[in-house]
Amino acid sequence: MTTKKVCVVVGVGPGNGAALGRRFAKEGYAVALLARSQETSGPLAKSLADARVEARPFNETW
């Protein structure tokens, strides 16, 4: 059985949240990005996916 490392970053913004997402991606983690809006998490998820990192944005949808 293989084990996949996953990192969940809560509060993704242009500063610390984005930096944490990139850092864990660099270490080989799949990254789940939680943010209030797609405008914040979407571009980062796309950037990581373009770098062949499994990344997915999750946004508040009330």
Q: Within a domain: residue 51?
A: yes
Q: Within a domain: residue 50?
A: yes
pLDDT by residue (tens digit) across 23-42?
999 999 999 999 988 888 99
Q: Within a domain: residue 29?
A: yes
Q: What is the tally of structural domains in the chain?
A: 1
What is the extent of the structural domain holding 13? 6-59
If one counts every other C-beta atom within 10 angstroms of the C-beta of residue 20, the result is 17
- Identify the pLDDT of residue 61: 67
The pTM assigned to this predicted structure is 0.84
Q: Within a domain: residue 1?
A: no
Contacts made by residues 48-55, CB under 8 angstroms, sequence distance 24+: 48/21, 48/22, 51/25, 53/25, 54/30, 55/21, 55/25, 55/30, 55/31
What's the average model confidence in pLDDT over 10-27? 93
Q: Within a domain: residue 44?
A: yes
Q: Within a domain: residue 22?
A: yes
Q: Within a domain: residue 47?
A: yes
